[in-house]
Amino acid sequence: MTTSFKNICTFTILIFCVAVCASQNLSKSSREKAIERKADSVLKLMTLDEKIGQMNQYNGDWEATGPITYDGDKQNQIRKGMLGSILNVTGVEHTRQLQEMAMQSRLKIPLLFGQDIIHGYRTTFPIPLAEAASWDLNAIKLSARIAATESAAAGVHWTFAPMVDIARDPRWGRIMEGAGEDTWLGSLIAKARVEGFQGNGLGSLDALMACAKHFAAYGAAVGGRDYNSVDMSQRALWEIYLPPFKAAEQAGVATFMNSFNDLNGIPATGNAYLQREILKGKWNFKGFVVSDWNSVGEMIPHGYAKDNYEAAMEAVTAGCDMDMESRSYIKNLSKLVSDGKLNPSLIDDAVKRILIKKFEMGLFDDPFRFCNVEREKQQWNNPSNLEKEKQMAEKTIVLLKNENQILPLSRQTKTIALIGPFIKSVRDNLGFWSYIWPDDTARIITTWKGIQEKINKDSKLLYAKGCNINDSSTAGFAEAVEIARQADIVIIQVGEAPDMSGEAKSRSNIHLPGMQEELVKAIQATGKPVVVMINAGRPLIFNWTADHVPAILYTWWLGTEAGYAIADVLFGDYNPSAKLPISFPRSEGQIPVYYNHYNTGRPAKNDNDLNYVSAYTDLPNDPKFPFGYGLSYTSFSYSDMDLSGKSFKAGDSISVSFNLTNTGKFVGTETVQLYVQDLVGSVVRPVKELKGFQQVVLKTGESKKITFTITADMLRFYNDKLEYGFEPGDFKVFVGSNSRDVKEASFALIK
């Protein structure tokens, strides 16, 4: 450390401590200014190479039990201050080792440790798409909070989450990582997740920096094929794909990640419109943008840059502050500056943004503040986190069908046959983007274990795997049929393997894989009552099962406590409350199928209407299960829908009310949904748009008046000039238990 820096450093640390101590009294903006001054003071001391080093991020070759990085060269670069951040290194011991190397560099600028903490760390929560099915924003926030607490205790500073990409195509494997098809719900969930990860704010020892990704429109990849191009109208971009990013930004998200796709011909990583004009311009985002993995270098195969030199120039110019793993910045930025191709002020801007986050995290104050062995131990096996995980998992299980009230099962049931490739599977419960730990087999709760611990002593469980997830063998069918015959009830658990949905896991065929639906048919043919549970990271197609099996639960990938959550739902200790955050297609040929589509000039009157209308001649237009759908063991009736008036003016509001009654035999939670349709607009409007929901708990026979208030602001949309506003006119309003089964009324917005 040079003397001059030492003085400045001591000075900045002093100021920082004073700032932290006095933080209660300081306004947010004066804190921000103080940190900005500190970042400036560090920036002044840096050489161009050191600045470029801050914009560089490498992978740490981390495995749960493996080394921190095999690469001696990377270690040297850390010692020279040529690395701003490293990903995929966790654990107090490992992060401390690397941070110590960074402390050997001239300016001792601390490293940021980034990691994909997508749905948990030690405790794995349900996959994000499943969590979205809970429609429970507090629970979603809590899940992110716990993930942050556990991973921050293990040295992680920064999660590459939440993924807030709206996705309407279940062939796209990354659909499992988002909140589904609806922009409004997705925006609320984006906010909840950012708030959960960032907790009481950067600098708290249990807060991670969150990262809104993938900016932007990654979920609209053509054909649902991962990394594919995106071509969309400006209105679709602004109305459907950008709002969850805006919500994350407004919630204070620390960072953004750009995306692999090109958007209307310009790769997102080199897209100045997205990153400079919208994000850092219109939205005034103060954090920094990281590229996706090698996405800077991938502008070469995109055909947008000739080589890494050009790619680096395009990316920095467009506003991408940190290069994840492509090494384009580290190798080319210096030359780009000396060649006069890149304005060094852009480098300063990027580095300052990165330094500010390091200050906000308190890392200049103490680079090892997230390296506390005791805290790591405390969070390693936290029983309360497991309990919360189970509760979250229960909220995500969707009851798709329950004819003759087969569910919930009685604990008195004598013999239960458990069949299928998931009944005893362990890590399959975690899904993509989860961490594997050496003791997983002992601690992950299988369906078998969950049910075994739930049943009475004199009940008996029988087991047969029946078939594998994805092959053509039916050799196990006979044994499965045999035990089904001996049972009072049969529970079959089928689905897709965790590596079938996720990054680079697009599928053109999203039917139940392998022979699993044939297995269901064989068991159903025994005449025994059958319950099917489906594990998956996306909407699968299982029409035969949906049409013939009396009871179906969608069980996604539920996480560490999966088996307990499943058993609670099967035996009625938890009454299902989840609602689908995405439409389930009848066939791949229907994709994309989503509830908030336009009406067209020739809408079909019904499924049989094929008279030159907008319809498939071989398939109904509507999905197999609509957005917002999900049953309960009890039933709810909607009655007496009423509006507070016939019209209202901007500035006023109108109320919609109705009575919700629990008409069934169990206490239950209903997520009542409010949709609106703008009947005539200067641009066409969707047939329905979600505008509100409430989660209502009712006892048997109980009734409650539910009220929603509609304001003109809720009716805003982008017109063809991209102006965001409402237009007076006639509207329909719908209330109901999903996007299909609704009651409707009308109102007008007047001038």
Cα atoms in the Cβ-side hemisphere of radius 13 Å centred on 714:
21
Distant-in-sequence, close-in-space partners of 232: CB < 8 Å, separation ≥ 6: 217, 220, 241, 263, 264
Q: Closer CB to ligand BGC, residue 502 or residue 664?
A: 502
- For the CA atoms of the chain, what is the radius of gyration? 27
3-class secondary structure, 599: coil
* Cβ burial, residue 647 (10 Å; 0-12/13-18/19+): middle
Q: Closer CB to ligand BGC, residue 221 or residue 641?
A: 221
Residues 213-232 that bind ligand BGC (CB under 6 A): 213
Q: Closer CB to ligand BGC, residue 390 or residue 505?
A: 505
Q: Closer CB to ligand BGC, residue 213 or residue 579?
A: 213
Altogether, the residues listed in the chain come to a count of 751
Among 249, 292, 310, 389, binds ligand BGC (CB under 6 A): 292
- Round to whole Å and give the CA distance between 637 and 736: 9
Minimum Å gap between C-beta 130 and ligand BGC is 18
Does the protein bind ligand BGC through residue 503 (CB under 6 A)? yes
- Token code pair at residue 388: 């919360």
Minimum Å gap between C-beta 536 and ligand BGC is 20
Q: Closer CB to ligand BGC, residue 213 or residue 507?
A: 213
Q: Where are the beta strands (DSSP E) in 481-569?
A: 489-495, 530-535, 551-554
Task: Render 305-329 in DSSP notation, one character per residue.
Answer: -SSHHHHHHHHHHHT--BEES--HH
Tell whether omega for the bond before 686 is within 30 degrees of 0, i.e. cis.
Answer: no
Does the protein bind ligand BGC through residue 298 (CB under 6 A)? no
Minimum Å gap between C-beta 210 and ligand BGC is 12
Distant-in-sequence, close-in-space partners of 678: CB < 8 Å, separation ≥ 6: 685, 715, 717, 727, 729, 731
Minimum Å gap between C-beta 538 and ligand BGC is 17
Minimum Å gap between C-beta 61 and ligand BGC is 13
Residues 4-33 that bind ligand BGC (CB under 6 A): none
Task: Render 183-243 in DSSP notation, one character per residue.
Answer: HHHHHHHHHHHHHHHHTT-BTBTT-PBPEEEEETTGGG-GGG-TT--B---HHHIIIIISH
Distant-in-sequence, close-in-space partners of 345: CB < 8 Å, separation ≥ 6: none
Minimum Å gap between C-beta 516 and ligand BGC is 29
Distant-in-sequence, close-in-space partners of 446: CB < 8 Å, separation ≥ 6: 423, 424, 425, 426, 429, 562, 563
Does the protein bind ligand BGC through residue 160 (CB under 6 A)? yes
Q: Do the strands 647-649 and 653-662 form a parallel or antiparallel pair, or are they unpaired? A: unpaired
Distant-in-sequence, close-in-space partners of 364: CB < 8 Å, separation ≥ 6: 9, 12, 13, 16, 38, 42, 109, 110, 358
334-to-109, 312, 345, 475 alpha-carbon distances in Å: 20, 10, 13, 63
Does the protein bind ligand BGC through residue 323 (CB under 6 A)? no
Sign of the alpha-carbon dihedral angle for 538, 539, 542, 548: positive
Q: Which residue type does 647 have? A: S
Tell whether omega for the bond before 620 is within 30 degrees of 0, i.e. cis.
Answer: no
Minimum Å gap between C-beta 167 and ligand BGC is 14
Q: Closer CB to ligand BGC, residue 87 or residue 142?
A: 87
Q: Which residue type does 330 have? A: I
Task: Render 438-484 in DSSP notation, one character per residue.
Answer: TTHHHHS--HHHHHHHHS-TT-EEEEE--S-SSSS--TTHHHHHHHH
Q: Closer CB to ligand BGC, residue 432 or residue 734?
A: 432
Minimum Å gap between C-beta 70 and ligand BGC is 18
Minimum Å gap between C-beta 89 and ligand BGC is 12
Does the protein bind ligand BGC through residue 293 (CB under 6 A)? yes
Angle of helix 3-21 versus helix 28-45 axis, rounded to 10? 170
Cα atoms in the Cβ-side hemisphere of radius 13 Å centred on 718:
14
Residue number of the CB atom closest to ligand BGC? 160
1-to-7, 21, 121 alpha-carbon distances in Å: 10, 27, 36
Residues 71-90 that bind ligand BGC (CB under 6 A): 87
Residue 36's Cα: distance from chain center in Å?
31
Q: Closer CB to ligand BGC, residue 455 or residue 500?
A: 500
Q: Which residue type does 552 have? A: I
Size, binding site for ligand BGC by CB under 6 A: 7
Q: Closer CB to ligand BGC, residue 259 or residue 385?
A: 259
Q: Closer CB to ligand BGC, residue 212 or residue 494?
A: 212
Minimum Å gap between C-beta 160 and ligand BGC is 3
Q: Closer CB to ligand BGC, residue 175 or residue 522?
A: 175
609 as an active site residue: the answer is no
Q: Choosing from 165, 169, 292, 678, which is the catalytic residue?
A: 292
Distant-in-sequence, close-in-space partners of 118: CB < 8 Å, separation ≥ 6: 128, 159, 160, 161, 163, 177, 433, 434
Minimum Å gap between C-beta 206 and ligand BGC is 21
Does the protein bind ligand BGC through residue 197 (CB under 6 A)? no
Residues 90-119 that bind ligand BGC (CB under 6 A): 116
Minimum Å gap between C-beta 293 and ligand BGC is 4
- Which of 541, 595, 539 lies closest to 172, judged by CA? 539
Does the protein bind ligand BGC through residue 61 (CB under 6 A)? no
- Round to whole Å and give the CA distance between 106 and 86: 18
Q: Closer CB to ligand BGC, residue 213 or residue 246?
A: 213
* Cβ burial, residue 306 (10 Å; 0-12/13-18/19+): exposed
Residue ranges that bind ligand BGC, judged by CB under 6 A? 87, 116, 160, 213, 292-293, 503
Q: Catalytic residue positions?
A: 292
